[in-house]
Chain A
Amino acid sequence: MQLEAKDIGFRYGDGPWLFQGVNLTLEPGEIVGITGPSGRGKTTLCRILAGFEAPIEGAVHFNGAPLPNNGYHPVQMVLQHPEKAINPRWKMHKILNEGYQPDKELLDLLGIEREWLTRWPHELSGGELQRFCVARALGPNTRYLIADEMTTMLDANTQAQIWHAVIEIAKKREMGIIVVTHESNLMRRLCHRVIDFNK
C-alpha cells in the first residue's frame, strides 16, 4: 500500500508557486525525512499528503488510486503545535476518543496518565498535550504517519520514549512515516532516507 505524490504543485490563491513537480513514493514501513528552510512549504506538502488540502497540480495516490475523501484517512498527521490541533472546549478524554478508542497499551507506551483525561487542554503542558495528538493519529487504520516537528516541543527523554514507541508500532503494522524536522541528529537516527526540500 504505497503512498505516492505525483507532480504535486501548490500555491495560495494566485500567489507564487510554493513548489511544483514534487514527486515522492513511500513504501509501507519506510521512514523518510524531509528537510528544508522554514516557510518553504514542507508543512503544506504534508497537509496535502494527509488530505487536508487539495493540490493545485498533480495528485496523491494511495495504493494506486486517489486518496479516499470520506471515512478514516489512512494518512494521519501530527503537528508541532498541539494546542492548534485540538478543540480547547473539549476535555481530554473527548479529544482522545474523537476518532477511535486507543487501548491501554498505546496509552502506556506513550506515557499518558489516566488523570490527564479529566482535564481541559489548557491545564496540560505542551509535551503532555502532544502525547494525545500522537495517540489520536495512531488509529488501527493509519497506514502512514506524518510527523511534522512532532517531538520538537518535548524533552530529550520523552522524545526518545515517543519515537521508540512509534517506531515499534510502525514495525508491527508496517506503517510508513514521514519525518519533518530541523534537528539533523534526530533525522539521522530515525530515517532510512532523507529528501532535501530546498532543491
Chain B
Amino acid sequence: MSILEVENLSVSFKQYTDGFKEINHKVISSLNVTLEAGKILAVVGASGSGKSLLAHAILGILPSNANVSGIIKYEGKELTPIRQTALRGKEIALVPQSVNFLDPLMRVGNQVRTSVKNGDAVSAQRKVFERYRLGKEVEDMYPFQLSGGMARRTLLSTAMVSDAKVIIADEPTPGLDPVVIKEALDNFREFADNGCAVMLITHDIESALQIADKIAVFYAGTTVEIAPVEDFVGNGEAIRHPYTKALWRALPQNEFRPIPGSQPHPSSLPPGCLFEPRCEMATAECRQAPPKMRELRDGMVRCIHAT
C-alpha cells in the first residue's frame, strides 16, 4: 500500500546572470516515486541529481526561490504546504544530509528531546543515545563538540524518537564505522517492518542492497530506473539502464572504472535522453525526445533501448 506518492514533480530555480539575464535551472524534472508501507526504497544516483531536493520538496523545506510543480500525496491526499508544516517532524521525519541542521546553540540532548512525541522525553532520549553508543556525557554537549560520526548519530536519534510513518533519511550513515552503520540500517528495517515507509538516500550501494526492497536511480533530476535489489549482482547484466550499469561498474569492489564527463547542467539539459551525451548505446532516436518511464522485467526504466 502506498503512503507517499510523488507525481510528475519538477523543481526549478531562477538565477540572474550579470547581464540581468534570467536563467532557469531545472533541477528536478518529471519525477515519479512511490513509498510503500513496510518497504524501504533506496535512492542512489549522481551527486547533484536532486536527491536532497526531492527530500526537501516532500518535507516542504525548499528555499523560497524554488518553483515547484507536480503533486505530492500523503495517505491519498495532496500534501499541501499547510499539511507539510503540520506533519513535518511528526508523521514525516527527515534525517538530514547536512550536519548543519543541528542547532549550534542547543545542547544535543535537548534537541533530541524536542522530537519525542510520546512518553517521557528524557528517558526516550537516553535510550536512543545508548542504542547508538552515545555516552551519557554527550547529551550536555553542543554540536561543535561532536565528532562527525557522533553528529550523524545524533541526527539519526532525532528521527528515531519521533513517531513518524515516513522516514526520509538523506545519507544517514557516511563516515560511520561498520558496527554503527549496521545498527542504523537494522533500525530502518525494523521501522519498515512495523509498517512504516522509508526512503533511504545513499551513495553506499552495498548497504542499500542489504536492507532495501527496491532501488531508484537518479540522474540529472529524474529517475532513470527503479529495480528490485536482486538485480544488482555480478557484472550488472540484470540492470536496465546504461547509467545504472556505469554506476555499478564504478564501485571499488567492481571495476572502479568511471565513465568520463559529468551530468548535464540544469540550465542546459539535452532535448532528448538526459544521459545521451555520455551513453555508449545512444542512437539518433535518443536525441528526439526524453524517453518515458516504462515497465521492463519487474522494474521501470527510462531508456528506449533497454532490454
Contacts and interface: CB of A to CB of B under 8 A. Distances in A.
Interface string A24-50: 000000000000111100010000000
Given A38-B180, A125-B48, A153-B174, 5 more contacts: A154-B203, A158-B262, A159-B203, A164-B258, A183-B204
Interface in B131-186: 147-150, 171, 174-181
Contacts of B247: 155-157
Given A115-B265, A156-B250, A164-B258, A38 B175 contact: yes
Give 4 closest A-B pairs by Cβ, nearest first: A127-B47, A38-B149, A125-B48, A160-B258
A38 B177 contact: yes
Given A81-B99, A183-B252, A160 B257 contact: yes
Contact of A185 (B99, B147, B253, B260): B253
B89 interface: no
A124 B178 CA distance: 29
Interface residues of A, number: 42
Contacts of B252: 156, 159-160, 183, 185-186, 188-190
B38 to A, nearest CB: 28
Contact of A157 (B63, B175, B181, B246): B246
B171 A125 contact: no
Contacts, number: 117
11 contacts: A38-B148, A38-B176, A38-B177, A81-B99, A111-B262, A149-B174, A149-B175, A153-B97, A155-B46, A158-B258, A163-B256
A144 to B, nearest CB: 21
Contacts of B175: 38, 80, 149, 152, 182
Contacts of A38: 147-150, 175-177, 180
Nearest to B203: A155
Contacts of B97: 126, 153
Chain B interface main SS type: loop
B288 interface: no
Interface residues of B, number: 47
A105 interface: no
B267 A115 contact: yes
A182 B175 CA distance: 6
Contacts of B49: 155
Given A149-B148, A160-B256, A186-B252, A154 B99 contact: no
A174 interface: no
B250 A160 contact: yes
Interface in B38-55: 44-49, 52
Contact of A182 (B44, B100, B181, B248): B181
Interface of A: 36-39, 43, 79-81, 83-84, 111, 113, 115, 118, 122-128, 130, 149, 152-161, 163-164, 182-183, 185-186, 188-190
A159 B100 contact: no
A11 B150 CA distance: 17
Nearest to B144: A84
B176 A128 contact: no
Interface in B65-106: 97-100
Contacts of B150: 38-39
B154 to A, nearest CB: 12
Interface string B16-52: 0100000000000000000000000000111111001
Interface in B254-279: 256-262, 265, 267
A153 B203 contact: yes
Contacts of B99: 81, 83-84
A126 B55 CA distance: 14
A158 B278 CA distance: 14
Interface string B200-213: 00011110000000
A160 B45 CA distance: 14
A153 B147 contact: no
B251 interface: yes
Contacts of A154: 47, 203
A132 to B, nearest CB: 13
Report which residue of B174, B175, B179, B261 has the largest number of chain A beta carbons within 10 angstroms of its beta carbon: B175
A126 B175 CA distance: 14
A39 B251 contact: no
